A and B are shown apart, each in its own frame.
Chain A
Amino acid sequence: MRRLLHVDYSLCIGCETCQGVCEFIHHGKPNIRIYYTMSGLPIPINCRHCEKAPCMEVCPSNAIYKDSDGAVIIDPKKCIGCLMCLAVCPFGAPSFDVRVKVVTKCDMCADRRRVGMEPACSEMCPAEAIFFGKPEEIEDEIRMRTAEKIARERISSKSLEGVGRLL
């Protein structure tokens, strides 16, 4: 059953909780990281588990596959560490792990999903900016959040007429 791990950048507050829990369960090497842009905006960067994953298509040793939830996963036994996946990834997500000498990346918390839990980043994000689930579930949740934002904006519109989409 296809499931998505979706980061909504407009809801992210840059608190680094996703990175913190990911770093904890991966012993110091997080697969989702916050980067600060020139304008000081924090942006979380992680694997988007593309439907048409360029990394999977380019991998010369066929080390990248999709599991039943649609997670794009690298098999460390097959990976030859050539970094072609990093070269073609639109997000720069694959990362060379100097300890095991292969490329690693987010596997959508495969171990956790196996026992019925969800990816740790989405479970802990205080802003609920990281969504995990079936596409239609996620889309409903996002629209629900948007509805709440619009409602709040309408309520406080006296002082904030015609402003952007932050609230």
Chain B
Amino acid sequence: MKGMRFAFLCKEKPEKNGKKIAIIGAGPAGLSAAGYLVCHGYDVHIYDKLPEPGGLMLFGIPEFRIPIYRVRKGYEELKNIFEVTFYPKTKVISSKKEEEGDEFVENFVEFEELVKEYDAVLIATGTWESTIPKIEGVELDGVYPALDYLFKIKSAKLGHVSWEEVPKIDGKSVVVVGAGHTAVDAAMESLLLGAERVYLVYRRTINEAPAGAYEINLLKQRGVRWLELATPVRIIGEYGKVKAIELQKCKLGEPDESGRRRPIPIEGSNFQIDVDMVVFAVGQKATPPFNEDIGIAVDKKGRIVVDSRHMTSREGVFAAGDVVIGPSKVGRAVLDGLVAAESMHMWLSGR
């Protein structure tokens, strides 16, 4: 029962080199970058909005995939052995803006202050804004972005909130929209928490599902009702609560720019299913620690643009992980964090 060794590049903490680095975001990219940097003598301070480090590894991905102890022991080693300073419940922002996982924030830190205080800054804030389709009824009680849904469940499991604050899933009918890893995890957690019925709705077929046919088939074996070639058109409420969802059947047309065949809704094919909860797992957007022009370029999807050194359009400010590449995988974020940290080390040592 050992933890992840984020500082896997060294056996022991080396002599400090006197330079100080701020990392914003304690997910896989931020923690791996911290591991690299402490192994090269830097003093590392990590700011994160959540009550403990780990990012989506702790607050999104279910425990049956990543054991909680693996992440906890990992950041504890960074803290206790490698003397990384963590500032939890602290949001770095140039102006206030809401997104998923903000419940725990107690302190706000100005982004510009970090740029002034530290020798270099790494932004690794991930993708914490869920996409919700603009359809009738999304404001109803019982509609959740999947990330928020998983976040609430994991926050209770981790002991940061009581189970009272988690949506009551036991005995309910839940429909999850999407077929990526987040959708699969939301469906699985619903089953584990005793949902009476779980539907997984996807506008393409199992062959196009981003989570892969294996994961979908596993859910089907466990009793999840798989509804492919269907897309939500509206959510029907009663007394402000979700009562049913109206879906429309689709057929596959020509391949789109992603290479997958485009779903085309079929006129007059609408049907309804009675549900108590609707969970949208249809994508997340990058959440950089600013929402105005502070001289850091972002692309049209809101992701931070970096050069080959992982430096943003501001000198000394670097970025890594999902906030740069979009929603990806733990391993992609880890590698990106390591490469960015190496590049920061090169830049700071004048190479």
A-side residues, CB < 8 A to B, are 13-21, 23-25, 34, 36-37, 39-42, 115-117, 120, 123-128, 141, 144, 152, 156, 158-160, 163-164, 166-167
With A and B bound together, what is the CA distance between A120 and B338 in angstroms?
13
Inter-chain contact B211/A116, CB cutoff 8 Å = no
**Which applies to chain A's interface (DSSP): helix, strand, loop or mixed?**
loop
With A and B bound together, what is the CA distance between A164 and B11 in angstroms?
39
With A and B bound together, what is the CA distance between A158 and B212 in angstroms?
27
Interface residues in B167-204 (C-beta closer than 8 Å to A): 191-195
Chain B residues within an 8 Å CB radius of A42: 212
Inter-chain contact B212/A41, CB cutoff 8 Å = yes
| Interface: B252 (CB within 8 A) | no
Inter-chain contact A40/B221, CB cutoff 8 Å = no
Inter-chain contact A24/B338, CB cutoff 8 Å = yes
30 contacts between A and B (CB under 8 A): A13-B61, A15-B330, A18-B331, A19-B331, A23-B335, A36-B212, A37-B214, A39-B217, A40-B214, A115-B11, A123-B4, A123-B8, A124-B6, A124-B8, A124-B334, A126-B28, A126-B330, A127-B66, A128-B2, A128-B67, A128-B70, A141-B1, A152-B64, A158-B194, A159-B192, A160-B222, A164-B218, A164-B221, A166-B64, A166-B218
Q: Given that A39-B213, A126-B66, A127-B66 are contacting pairs, would A16 and B8 also be in contact in the complex, using a CB cutoff of 8 Å? A: no
Q: Which 3 A-B pairs have the closest CB atoms?
A: A40-B212, A16-B331, A20-B335
Chain B residues within an 8 Å CB radius of A125: 4
Known: A34-B331, A156-B192. 16 other contacts (CB 8 A): A17-B331, A20-B335, A23-B335, A25-B9, A40-B215, A42-B212, A115-B11, A117-B11, A120-B8, A125-B4, A126-B70, A127-B66, A128-B1, A144-B1, A159-B191, A166-B64
With A and B bound together, what is the CA distance between A127 and B5 in angstroms?
12
With A and B bound together, what is the CA distance between A18 and B32 in angstroms?
13
B-side residues, CB < 8 A to A, are 1-2, 4-6, 8-9, 11, 28, 32, 57, 61, 64-67, 70-71, 191-195, 209, 211-215, 217-218, 221-222, 329-332, 334-335, 338-339, 342
A-B residue pair count with CB separations less than 8 angstroms: 100
Inter-chain contact A15/B329, CB cutoff 8 Å = yes
Nearest neighbor of B195 in chain A, beta-carbon distance: A159
Inter-chain contact A21/B334, CB cutoff 8 Å = yes
Chain A residues within an 8 Å CB radius of B2: 128
Inter-chain contact A126/B221, CB cutoff 8 Å = no
Write the nearest CB–CB distance from A131 to chain B, whole angstroms: 10
Q: Given that A127-B66, A159-B194 are contacting pairs, would A40 and B211 also be in contact in the complex, using a CB cutoff of 8 Å? A: yes
Chain A residues within an 8 Å CB radius of B330: 15-17, 126
Inter-chain contact A163/B212, CB cutoff 8 Å = no
Inter-chain contact B192/A160, CB cutoff 8 Å = yes
Write the nearest CB–CB distance from A43 to chain B, whole angstroms: 10
Chain B residues within an 8 Å CB radius of A156: 192
Chain A residues within an 8 Å CB radius of B335: 19-21, 23-24
With A and B bound together, what is the CA distance between A164 and B64 in angstroms?
13
With A and B bound together, what is the CA distance between A159 and B195 in angstroms?
8
With A and B bound together, what is the CA distance between A164 and B219 in angstroms?
11
Chain B residues within an 8 Å CB radius of A127: 65-67, 70
Chain B residues within an 8 Å CB radius of A25: 9
State which of A39, A117, A126, A167 has its C-beta within 8 Å of the C-beta of B8: A117
Write the nearest CB–CB distance from A127 to chain B, whole angstroms: 6
Chain A residues within an 8 Å CB radius of B4: 123-126
Inter-chain contact B222/A40, CB cutoff 8 Å = no
Chain A residues within an 8 Å CB radius of B67: 127-128
Inter-chain contact B8/A21, CB cutoff 8 Å = yes
Write the nearest CB–CB distance from B249 to chain A, whole angstroms: 24
With A and B bound together, what is the CA distance between A123 and B218 in angstroms?
29
With A and B bound together, what is the CA distance between A117 and B12 in angstroms?
10
Q: Given that A124-B6, A126-B71, A158-B194 are contacting pairs, would A13 and B218 also be in contact in the complex, using a CB cutoff of 8 Å? A: no
Chain A residues within an 8 Å CB radius of B1: 128, 141, 144
